[in-house]
Amino acid sequence: MGKTAVITGGCGFFGTHLMRALTSDPAYERIILADINQPRELSAKAEYVRVDVCEEIDLPVSGEVEVYNFAAVHTTPGHEDWEYYWTNVAGATNACRFATRVGARRVVFASTMSVYGPQEVQVDEATVPRPVNAYGRSKLLAEHIHRDWQAGDAANRLLIVRPAVIFGEGERGNFSRLAGLLRRGLFVYPGRTDTIKACAPVEDFPRSVAFMSAFDEPVLTYIYAYPERTTTEMINRSFAVAGGFKAPSLVIPAGLMMAGALAFEVLAKIGLRTSINRVRMGKLLHSTNVYPRQLLDRGWTFRYSLTEALARWKTISDFN
């Protein structure tokens, strides 16, 4: 009898790509996408079950079960502080309780590089996390809950992934928005061009999970990001090559950008809502300088460079 993979948040960006990878792996017989949202797609091995991770998880499974906890409230800004804790911490608790009840010996948890906060100085897995917002703090608490699950039985195996900004088919986030701005020639640099924005392609994410799981250590934490220091200028130039866009060059002073963002916040209070605010502008000014030391020390290599991965995304779905 093959393995069963239960993916909480399985209908999202990460879950969909993991489902594709596990479908092609003969070791897996059944894949359950446990989510409050409907699936983007289903494979022959996959089935959808509506699950709210804020509540007790009760799924009919047997045999060898693996749990991939990808469910999260993650958009920042975009939610009240309590919402990050409500979903991310309660979700971790319920996912681990489910793993215990069904006798799962392996749990993979998708955390975030936000546990480090913004960093101009390079950080890696040995760096002490210092999150600065509710999203990062809630994810760090969730990491501890998963570690407690592993400590409950020496046979348990826990893999914690701290992804950078992940891009690719179906992303619907930062990189998709950036592609839209570049396509229309509307992107300007806010204050600087050398902000480091750690990133990596989604198509290699499942492969990294399988690679690190093979080490079979009780607890293993790794950062998923390109080892190169990808600056905003480097990302934009790679997009320009991959998408045929004109590379941006205009830099607007940070103070002026923040003043403009404040004006949009005032407009939002009278009903004219946009995605522009000072928090989002601040994120564009601060580096996320994370380095995947564990991946590199263990022999991992990415299949595609930043430009190559963007070009593949363009070919597959035109940056959607």
* pLDDT one digit per residue (tens) for the chain, 320 residues: 799 999 999 999 999 999 999 999 999 999 999 999 999 999 999 999 999 999 999 999 999 999 999 999 877 666 788 899 999 999 999 999 999 999 999 999 999 999 999 999 999 999 999 999 999 999 999 999 999 999 999 999 999 999 999 999 999 888 999 999 999 998 889 889 999 999 999 999 999 999 999 999 999 999 999 999 999 999 999 999 999 999 999 988 777 776 666 666 666 777 766 666 666 666 677 899 999 999 999 999 999 999 999 999 999 999 99
Whether the CB-CB separation of 300 and 217 falls below 8 Å is answered with no
Which residue ranges make up each domain of the chain?
3-163
CATH number, span 3-163 = 3.40.50.720
Contact 290, 115 (CB under 8 A): no
Considering only CA atoms, give the Rg of the chain: 20
> Which of 309, 265, 39 minimizes the C-alpha distance to 166?
309
Whole-model pTM?
Answer: 0.93
Nearest to 72 by CA among 129, 14, 124, 147: 14
Tokens of 3: 């393995």
Q: What is the DSSP letter of 204?
A: G
Q: Report residue 289: phi and psi, to 5°.
A: -95, 70
Structure tokens at 139: 């994810």
CA angle 27, 28, 33 (to 5 degrees): 160
At position 78, the amino acid (one-letter code) is G
Nearest to 113 by CA among 151, 165, 153: 165
d(CA 226, CA 303) in angstroms, rounded, equals 11
- Reading the block at residue 236, the tokens are 């934009």
* Token pair belonging to 142: 């969730």
3-class state of residue 237 by DSSP: helix
